[in-house]
């Protein structure tokens, strides 16, 4: 009986040591995380093109965050330094491509209606496509505003910023209003 336990114990140790260092062909190491590769055909909504995104430029992240900070503090001209000569804006109820001058007027008019903005950043990331043709910065945050009449409003924002040559060329903002207390 003791021999059975001894052999079982040795076999268990050998098997556990061997299995922890092996990888299957379907695993890819990303940082410290192992992600199983899968086909999008197995998903309820398959994609035609599965983007292979890589970590992106920290410089783009800094530019995007500073632009948002400049808008928050009311310095729209500094905010617009982050934007390209033309920019596509996608906001709730508004989609269009604008020159930098036109976009600046839109942002100044928008900011003029807000007396105060408080931003609580939840998360952000910077990514680029494997082929390097696309670079994006995404931000998730809560924004509390006080308008010029003293009315408070709270929203959850998700901003996607597409970058080209270190400048924002597309800003896509999704928002959800928080319920009033």
Which among 100, 102, 111, 98 has a CA at the least distance from the CA of 71?
A: 111
Read off the pLDDT of residues 96-129 as tens digits, 9 standing for 90 and up.
999 999 999 999 999 999 999 999 999 999 999 9
CA 62 vs. chain centroid, Å, equals 13
For residues 22 and 58, the model is more confident at 58
Tokens 């308008």, located at residue: 147
Instruction: List the beta bridge partners of residue 29.
Output: 34
User: What does the pLDDT read at residue 163?
Assistant: 98
The CATH class of the 53-177 domain is alpha beta
> What is the C-alpha R_g of the chain?
24
For residues 74 and 31, the model is more confident at 74
pTM of this structure? 0.76
> Please, how many CA atoms are within 13 Å of residue 22, restricted to the half-sphere of its CB?
7
Which among 2, 167, 156 has a CA at the least distance from the CA of 79?
A: 167
135 with 163: CB under 8 angstroms?
yes
């Amino acid at each position: 009986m003791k021999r059975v336990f001894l052999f079982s114990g040795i076999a268990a140790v050998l098997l556990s040591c061997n299995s922890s260092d092996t990888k299957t062909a379907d695993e890819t190491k990303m940082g410290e995380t192992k992600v199983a590769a899968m086909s999008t055909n197995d998903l309820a909504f398959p994609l035609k093109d599965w983007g292979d995104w890589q970590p992106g430029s920290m410089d783009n992240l800094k530019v995007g965050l500073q632009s948002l900070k400049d808008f928050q503090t009311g310095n729209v001209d500094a905010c617009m330094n982050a934007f390209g000569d033309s920019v596509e804006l996608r906001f709730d109820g508004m989609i269009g491509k604008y020159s930098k001058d036109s976009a600046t007027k839109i942002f100044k008019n928008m900011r003029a209606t807000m007396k105060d903005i408080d931003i609580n950043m939840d998360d952000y990331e910077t990514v680029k496509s494997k082929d390097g043709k696309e670079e994006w910065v995404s931000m998730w945050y809560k924004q509390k505003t006080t308008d010029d009449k003293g009315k408070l409003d709270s929203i959850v924002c998700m901003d996607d910023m597409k970058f080209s040559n270190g400048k924002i060329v597309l800003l896509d903002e999704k928002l959800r209003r928080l319920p009033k207390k």
